Amino acid sequence: MKITEHIAKAKGETLFSFEVIPPVKGKSIQELYDNIDPLMEFKPPFIDVTTSREEYVYIEKDGLLDKRKTRMRPGTVGICASLQHKYKIDTVPHLLCGGFTKEETEYVLVDCHYLGIENVMALRGDAMKGEPYFEPTEGGHRYAQGLVQQIADLCGGHYLHETVVSGDCADFCIGVAGYPEKHLEAPSLSTDLKRLKEKVDAGAHYVVTQMFFDNAKYFAFVDAARAMGIDIPIIPGIKPLAVKRHLNLLPQVFSLDLPQDLVDAVEACKDNRAVRQVGVEWAVEQSRELREAGVPVLHYYSMGKSDNIEQIARALF
């Protein structure tokens, strides 16, 4: 079922969902199941599975170092299929522009269609580790808007090299990213919102936001998006802060502000166990207010370990 159909079916009740990361290659998928199992009692209608950018690795050969690209956490679509099969729920693979040609994207979409995956999240991807800017892949898309357009075209039977008239067209529900505190590369929030509108006009059906820790930023973002004519669901993405290092890391990586009360509470913690608890309590308070405001879904970034998401869900759902 499509995410938009889940939202419509919920009739105003806020749903619970979360995002998982594929295991590092060579590791068992069981660890992922072990993290998901405790969250299933909160009845998520869907789970997102991220896609990782490639990284550079150095292979020693004849005394020289050979620089190669590799994806450390492959398997997004396979994991989506296995989760759909195991838990009988919908999954949302994240599709990236970075690292994929349009041709490869088309093959992934065909795989998704055959596997019964009805939702996809269309993203540009970040710059590769160690590179200052995002470099589009040769033969790939520069912006997520192009990827959204390709997916929408394919749903209309327009493949890259031919138009296929058939009774079995894919019909993906397409999610895109939105940034309550603007994307770090965007010159202004208003310009970034115009880019978001372009993704919506290209065929996006819903938005999931980047993490934020101050609900006022989300509410202002939704108001500005609505004023611009963006009328699709805007799902808030929530990340519970988990370690002290996040105080510096999150603002740096995601270009966001942390509220002073949260910073003070984390700085007063003796260890990361206490920080994890502060993160849970903050996320619960944020979620309560968002739910009271009628958000369609509360979507959590689990980043591997799910014990804190379980605590939050237990307090709310």
Burial class of residue 197, CB neighbours in 10 A (0-12, 13-18, 19+): middle
Nearer to ligand FAD, 234 or 258 (CB): 234
Minimum CB distance to ligand FAD, residue 21 (Å): 8
**E strand segments, 31-160:** 46-49, 55-61, 64-70, 90-96, 119-123
Give the phi and the psi of residue 63 in degrees, each rounded to 5. 80, 0
10: left (phi over 0), alpha (psi -120 to 50) or beta: alpha
Nearer to ligand FAD, 23 or 237 (CB): 237
Residue 100 C-alpha from the chain's centroid: 17
- CB of 219 or CB of 274, closer to ligand FAD: 219
Q: How far apart are CA 314 and CA 281, in angstroms?
A: 12
Catalytic center residues = 19
Query: Where do contacts with ligand FAD occur on this chain (CB under 6 A)?
Result: 50-51, 53, 94, 96, 123-126, 143-145, 177, 183, 185-186, 192, 195, 199, 208, 210, 237
CB 208 within 8 A of CB 301: no
C-beta of 108 vs 144, nearer to ligand FAD: 144
Instruction: Count how many residues are written for the chain.
Output: 317
Least distance between ligand FAD and beta carbon 99 (Å): 9
Are 92 and 48 a contacting pair, CB within 8 Å? Answer: yes
CB of 270 to ligand FAD, least distance (A): 32
